[in-house]
């Protein structure tokens, strides 16, 4: 081989290696320069309140309003919907920004949003009802209710599925096969993952699995003796006054639903957004299928924690027994004794609040891998906050904590 040829190949390799970062840098520069700023001035963000807050909460509402506007502009998001509940009452609810960027349709308090994986907490409530009726048992193997799911190398229980310790695989995100499929029943989705072996022995690790909650949905359907979505509507949503909560549908999209968006670069809305492709969430059932409003999620969380819904005649704590709620909202433990920080469909987190660490109970909702929803209960302070966005990768959780701090007294 000649000396020139020996020199040529290293040079080609170096040039090839250099092309990749140059391309990424160029793409970043182009995206940054062409990104649209949806709310150039935070003070000009349009908002639509549900009603004028009572005088007691007017100052907190105004402080929270400015916080939400600033967060919306900072994150470069189309819009937020926010609601706050205290003592069983929704004290403030307001929509901010745009439900649809093309038409500049304003977000209202009753605008519906996809809530993604926050759906699991709603499904957890359905399990709680069936536990109290003796129709489900947490430590039964899942095949007791879903015989269509093959036996694995280790037994798998309903409790382990609900706590994400069962070793069942997760979906493939935006490349998952279920998003291209329509399911009439939760068991219809099993063909796409049921034959896979478990990733680890149940109870030894924590690993989030939407597939696991599809199995939980199938167990609810079997124990209830009626279609899963019908049971959710009749036994959870209607009794709690959640009139705007339902399963989303590609064939018949929920009326008043905000358009959904996805960051066009680096999973960051600051570089602009593209419309999210239409997704069929029917196969995900209680794992991700629901749309809701911020106010409905606050009603739900208040009812779960023993507050009567407004106009219910004051029958507190009748939806689920306190012992059932504690069971669902207690962190699971691995075989090693380590706590997972996750209950049975509920996320438990420690956040800084009022200068001290406090435990919150709630759930964030992801859609295509990015956060779109958060509802958070601050048990020691009696505050519930829900924040919804129509863009993936929105920091709804951070906004929820800021809003709660504005209402803490």
Query: With 80 as the cut, is the pLDDT of residue 351 above it?
Result: yes
- Provide the domain count of the chain: 1
Q: Mean pLDDT check: name the lowest of 19-33, 161-175, 260-274, 319-333.
A: 19-33
Parallel, antiparallel, or unpaired for β 47-49 and 370-378? unpaired
Q: Does residue 195 form part of some domain?
A: no
Residue 79 lies in a domain: yes
Q: How confident is the model at residue 294 (pLDDT cuts 50, 70, 90)?
A: very high
Instruction: Output the pLDDT for position 26.
Output: 46
**How many angstroms separate the CA atoms of 162 and 125, rounded?**
12
pLDDT at residue 355, rounded to an integer: 85
- The pLDDT of residue 35: 80
Identify whether 187 is part of a domain. no
Q: Does 37 fall in a domain?
A: no
CATH of the domain at 72: 3.40.710.10
To the nearest whole percent, how much of the chain has pLDDT over 70?
88
Length of the chain: 409
Mean pLDDT, range 19-41, rounded to an integer: 63
Q: What is the pLDDT of residue 3?
A: 52
Domain that holds residue 302: 44-122+227-407
Element (H, E) at 163: none
Portion of the chain with pLDDT greater than 90, in percent? 81
Residue 8, in any domain of the structure: no
Is residue 358 predicted with pLDDT exceeding 50? yes
More confident residue, 401 or 354: 401
Whole-number pLDDT of residue 33? 54
User: What is the pLDDT, as a whole number, of residue 150?
Assistant: 98
347-353/356-367 β-pairing: antiparallel
> Residues 244-262: pLDDT tens digits?
999 998 877 788 999 999 9
Whole-number pLDDT of residue 313:
45
Average pLDDT, the chain: 90
């Amino acid at each position: 081989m000649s000396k020139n040829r020996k020199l040529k190949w290293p040079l080609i390799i170096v040039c090839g290696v250099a092309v990749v970062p140059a391309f990424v840098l160029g793409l970043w520069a182009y995206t940054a320069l062409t990104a649209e700023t949806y709310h150039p001035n935070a003070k000009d963000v349009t908002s639509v309140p549900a009603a004028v807050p009572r005088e007691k909460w007017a100052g907190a509402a105004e402080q929270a309003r400015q916080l939400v506007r600033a967060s919306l502009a900072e994150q470069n998001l189309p819009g937020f919907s926010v609601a706050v509940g205290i003592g069983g009452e929704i004290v403030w609810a307001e929509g901010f920004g745009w439900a649809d960027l093309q038409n500049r349709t304003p977000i209202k308090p009753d605008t519906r949003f996809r809530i993604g994986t926050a759906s699991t907490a709603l499904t957890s409530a359905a399990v709680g009802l069936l536990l109290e009726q003796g129709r489900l048992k947490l430590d039964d193997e899942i095949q007791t209710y879903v015989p269509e799911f093959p036996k694995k190398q280790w037994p798998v229980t309903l409790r382990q599925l609900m706590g994400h310790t069962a070793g069942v695989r997760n979906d493939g995100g935006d490349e998952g096969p279920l998003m291209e499929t329509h399911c009439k029943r939760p068991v219809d989705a099993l063909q796409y993952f049921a034959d896979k072996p478990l990733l680890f022995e149940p109870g030894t690790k924590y690993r989030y699995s939407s597939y696991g909650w599809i199995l939980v949905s199938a167990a609810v359907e079997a124990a209830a003796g009626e279609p899963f979505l019908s049971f959710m509507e009749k036994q959870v949503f209607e009794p709690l006054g959640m009139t705007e909560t339902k399963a989303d549908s590609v064939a018949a999209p929920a009326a008043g639903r905000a358009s959904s968006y996805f960051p066009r670069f680096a999973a960051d809305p600051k570089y602009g957004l593209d419309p999210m492709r239409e997704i069929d969430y029917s196969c995900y059932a209680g794992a991700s299928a629901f749309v809701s409003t911020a106010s409905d999620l606050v009603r739900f969380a208040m009812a779960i924690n023993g507050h009567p819904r407004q106009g219910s005649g004051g029958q507190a704590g009748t939806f689920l027994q306190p012992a059932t709620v504690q069971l669902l909202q207690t962190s699971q433990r691995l075989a090693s004794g380590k706590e997972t920080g996750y209950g049975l469909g509920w996320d438990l987190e420690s956040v800084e609040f009022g200068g001290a660490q406090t435990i919150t109970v709630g759930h964030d909702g992801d859609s295509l891998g990015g956060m779109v929803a958060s509802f958070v209960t601050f048990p020691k302070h009696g505050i519930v906050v829900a924040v919804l966005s129509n863009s993936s990768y929105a920091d709804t959780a951070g906004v929820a904590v800021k809003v709660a701090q504005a209402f803490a007294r």
